[in-house]
Structure 1
Amino acid sequence: MASGGPPFALGVETHTGLAALVRAIRAEEDGKALRKELAANMRDALRPGAEQAKGSIMGMVSVHGATPALRTSIAKKIRPEVKLGGRWSGARVKAFKTKNIRGFPNAPKRTNRASGWRHPVYGNREVWVSQRGKLEWFDRAFRGREGIYKEAVEAAMEDMARRIANRAG
Structure 2
Amino acid sequence: MMAGGPPFSLGVETHAGLAALTRAIRAEEDGKQLRKELAAGMREALKPGANEAKGSIMSMSSAGLPTSPALRSAVARKIRPEVKLGGRWSGARVKAFKTKNVRGFPNAPKRLNRAGGWRHPVYGNREVWVQQRGKVDWFDRAFQGREGAYKSGVEQAMENMARRIADRAR
Task: Output the aligned Cα RMSD.
Answer: 1.1
Q: Which residue in 1 is equivalent to 2:44?
A: 44
AA aligned opposite 1:37: E
**2: CA distance, partners of 1:91 / 1:140:** 19
Largest Rg, 1 or 2:
1
Aligned residues of 2:50 and 2:80 also touching (Cα < 8 A): yes
Alignment partners' CA distance in 2, 1:163 and 1:93: 26
- Match for residue 123 of structure 2? 122
Answer whether contact 2:45 2:153 (CA < 8 A) is retained. yes
**2:110 maps to 1:109:** yes
TM-score scaled by length of structure 2:
0.90
Stretches of 4+ aligned residues off by more than 3 angstroms? none
Instruction: Kindly provide the CA deviation profile for residues 8-64 of structure 1, in whole angstroms up to 9, marking residues without a partner as x.
Output: xxxxx9611100000000000000000000000000000000000000000101122
Measured in 1, the distance between the counterparts of 2:124 and 2:85 equals 43
1:71 and 1:14, CA in 2 relative to 1: closer, same or farther beyond 3 A? closer
Q: Indicate the SS of the match to 1:142.
A: coil
Shift of 1:123: 4.6
Quote the residue 2:59 is aligned against.
Answer: 59
1:103 and 1:87 mapped to 2: Cα distance? Answer: 31
Partner of 1:96: 97
* Structure 2, gaps ≥5 residues long: 1-12
Aligned identity (percent) is 79
Alignment of 1:77-92 (within 5 A): 77-92=78-93
Counterparts of 1:156 and 1:125, CA distance in 2: 52
Question: What TM-score do you get using the length of structure 1 for normalisation?
Answer: 0.90
Structure 1 gap segments, 5+ residues each: 1-12
